[in-house]
């Protein structure tokens, strides 16, 4: 039986009506038979194949070859299942191995019995035969018997190898194995199974473990169904259940079982601990819940930056449906496209620390832009290679609006909305730098409101504030967008004029300001009127310093007051002496 395919072919040739002895010899050689034995083996087969005991032995020989072929195929399937860590398939194949083992043992016994009976029969026949005929027939019979013994020995070795593999599996930690009885008794168990449920070999010896009693009630029906399958087919399909651990918690397992007796009262069970698998599944469920429950939009992209998953928050944020988003590229939703330097920074950061973020704008389905903080996170494999990217979109519209309000509060007058002293000073400094660079002039107009204090005292601060708001609004409309008007405090105002070509243009604006301020204002049914005195300082004639230009314009303003009010005055060095 070393070569089941060759033996099978030999039998088919010799059992045909007109055997091709030359072809038969070739197949005998292929089966590793000695050349000197072949002719005798052929004659023995042809002479005795029709006799009952020989026919029975040949039949068992054929069955043995078939089972050996199945054994080889099953061995390949077992190696493949172990390499791919297919636990369910491994349990099924082990069950099949147990069945095949039993079948081979039975065929071996029946083959040996047929040969024994045949030998006795031949002995009786040959007693009445001639000595010469006996010698002629015994020689090939010896060689046939010799070859059969070798083949039987090969089967025994294969079975021993299978048994060694089974024992190795039972002693490993990857799978729990027990011998069981229908009543719940555990006849034997390996350490992997005992560790799985928290018991010891001593507990097993003392009979403290019963597979039925350690099974929670809700799995009793599954056990009964498996037992019904075993009663019918001798084996059950792998299924999931739970055992109660000795410490009280549950242990999820994958189980497969096979019967080892005709009454199906006992057998072998194989267990795989599913605790890690169940924890991973639970983690996946929690991740999915968080993925869809968070208020932040999330996109998952593959390494080609194509979107493979999207949560409901992003759909709500963008106005797109999931089926529209999948397959798109994340950058299609970004309003301010990343520069080459930003892309380089992102790639380097993702490789180094696995994350990168930037403030940007999200393009919605309606075309509107939403301020967002974009966080890109690299998803790594076990080999530390990037497999996906997780993009988190956080709506920062409120934050941006708050920042704008803070900026406005820091740079604009809370009452009139005009620039405050800080912003005015900053713009003045920048204007001077530009003027120096381009050889241009800058003018500064400084003024306050004449007769404002009496109105504020008579009608109250609310009326005074309303008056400042109205005048500020009127003045803002008189200047160019490139110029700046500011309320420096109280009733003091300043105007910054850039790109000045002639002084006449400055005095024109100054007179226009005086005329606007002089216009009557009606508040709560009361008509009131104020005027203004205005001082002018020009760069580079007067000074190249922001502070000094304001001081010079202030001096010129007092010159205007001293000369009758409601007029403007251009700074002269003598004005500083007249300031009071």
From residue 421, give the alpha-carbon distance in Å to each of 465, 499, 568. Answer: 18, 21, 21
Helices (H), 412-532: 421-438, 452-459, 461-476, 503-517
3-class state of residue 432 by DSSP: helix
Sheet holding 369-380: strands in order across?
307-310, 297-302, 386-395, 369-380, 355-363
Separation of alpha carbons 299 and 390, rounded Å: 6
Instruction: Give the span between the Cα atoms of 91 and 474, in whole angstroms.
Output: 90
Question: Catalytic residue at 544?
Answer: no
273-to-54, 99, 177, 242 alpha-carbon distances in Å: 51, 25, 11, 10
DSSP 565: S
Q: What is the DSSP string of 63-121?
A: HHHHHHHHHHHHHHHHHHHHHTT-HHHHHHHHHHHHHHHHHHHHHHHHHHHHHHHHHHH
How far, in Å, CA of 16 to CA of 547, rounded?
Answer: 123
Q: Would you say the C-alpha torsion 234, 239, 240, 241 has a positive or negative sign? A: negative
**CA nearest to 418, candidates 469, 358, 458, 376:** 469
Residue that is written with structure tokens 């029975």 in the block: 56
DSSP class of residue 439?
Answer: T
How many beta carbons lie within 10 A of that of residue 42, not counting itself? 19
Residue 566 DSSP code? S
CA distance 519 to 525: 16
Residue of 576, 579, 556 lying closest to 567 (CA atoms): 556
What are the distances in angstroms from CA 429 to CA 284, 498, 549, 557? 59, 12, 11, 21
Return the beta strands (E) in 260-306 as ranges: 266-273, 297-302
- For the record, the structure tokens of 538 come out as 């020009």
- Cα–Cα distances (Å) from 155 to 5, 119, 340, in that order, read 15, 22, 71
Q: Is 374:361 a contact under the CB 8 Å cutoff?
A: no
What gap in Å lies between CA 84 and CA 61, rounded to an integer? 35
- Strand 568-570 and strand 531-539: the pairing is parallel
513 neighbors 456 (Cβ within 8 angstroms): no
Residues 65, 413, 448, 491: which is the catalytic one? 491
- Asked whether the beta carbons of 240 and 274 are under 8 A apart, the reply is yes
Give the active site residues.
491
């Amino acid at each position: 039986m070393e070569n089941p395919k060759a033996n099978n072919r030999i039998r088919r040739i010799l059992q045909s009506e007109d055997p091709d002895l030359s072809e038969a010899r070739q197949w005998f050689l292929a089966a590793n038979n000695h050349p000197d034995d072949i002719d005798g083996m052929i004659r023995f087969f042809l002479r005795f194949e029709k006799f009952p005991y020989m026919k029975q032995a040949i039949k068992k020989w054929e069955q043995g070859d078939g089972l050996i072929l199945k054994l080889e195929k099953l061995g390949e399937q077992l190696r493949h299942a172990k390499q791919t860590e297919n636990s369910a398939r491994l349990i099924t194949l082990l069950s099949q191995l147990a069945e095949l083992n039993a079948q081979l043992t039975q065929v071996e016994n029946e083959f040996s019995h047929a040969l024994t009976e045949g030998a006795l029969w031949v002995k009786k026949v040959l007693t009445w035969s001639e000595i010469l005929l006996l010698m002629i027939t015994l020689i090939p019979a010896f060689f046939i018997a010799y070859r059969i013994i070798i083949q039987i020995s090969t089967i025994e070795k294969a079975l021993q190898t299978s048994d060694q593999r089974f024992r190795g599996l039972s002693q490993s930690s990857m799978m729990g194995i027990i011998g069981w009885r229908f009543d719940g008794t555990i006849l034997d168990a390996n350490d992997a199974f005992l560790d799985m449920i928290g018991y010891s070999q001593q507990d097993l010896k003392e009979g403290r473990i019963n597979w039925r009693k350690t099974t929670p009630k809700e799995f009793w029906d599954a056990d009964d169904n498996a037992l019904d399958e075993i009663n019918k087919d001798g084996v059950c399909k792998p299924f999931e259940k739970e055992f109660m651990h000795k410490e009280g918690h549950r242990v999820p397992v994958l189980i497969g079982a096979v019967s080892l007796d005709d009454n199906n009262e006992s057998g072998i069970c194989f267990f795989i601990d599913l605790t890690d698998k169940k924890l991973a599944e639970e983690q996946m469920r929690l991740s999915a819940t968080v993925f869809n429950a968070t208020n932040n939009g999330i996109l998952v992209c593959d390494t080609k930056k194509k979107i493979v998953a999207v949560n409901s928050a992003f759909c709500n944020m963008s106005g797109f449906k999931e089926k529209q988003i999948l397959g798109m590229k994340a950058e299609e939703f970004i309003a301010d496209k990343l520069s080459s330097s930003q892309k380089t920074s992102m790639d380097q950061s993702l490789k180094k620390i696995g994350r990168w973020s930037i403030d940007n704008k999200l393009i919605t389905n309606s075309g509107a832009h939403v301020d967002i903080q974009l966080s890109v996170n690299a998803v790594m494999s076990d080999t530390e290679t990037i497999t996906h990217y997780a993009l988190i979109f956080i709506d920062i519209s409120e934050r941006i609006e708050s920042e704008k309000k803070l900026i406005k509060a820091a740079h604009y007058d809370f009452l009139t909305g005009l620039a405050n002293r800080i912003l005015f000073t900053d713009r003045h400094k920048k204007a001077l730098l530009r003027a120096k660079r381009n050889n241009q002039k800058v003018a500064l107009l400084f003024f306050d409101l004449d007769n404002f204090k009496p109105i504020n005292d008579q009608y109250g601060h609310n009326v005074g504030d309303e008056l400042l708001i109205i005048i500020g609004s009127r003045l803002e409309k008189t200047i160019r967008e490139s110029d700046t008007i500011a309320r420096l405090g109280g009733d003091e105002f300043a105007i910054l004029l850039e790109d000045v070509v002639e002084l006449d243009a400055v005095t024109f604006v100054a007179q226009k300001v005086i005329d606007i301020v002089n216009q009557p204002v009606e508040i709560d049914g009361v008509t009131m009127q104020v005027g203004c005195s205005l001082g002018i300082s020009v760069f580079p004639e007067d000074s190249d310093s922001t502070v000094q230009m304001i001081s010079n314009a202030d001096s010129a303003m007092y010159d205007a007051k001293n000369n009758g009010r409601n007029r403007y005055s251009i700074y002269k060095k003598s004005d500083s002496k007249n300031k009071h």
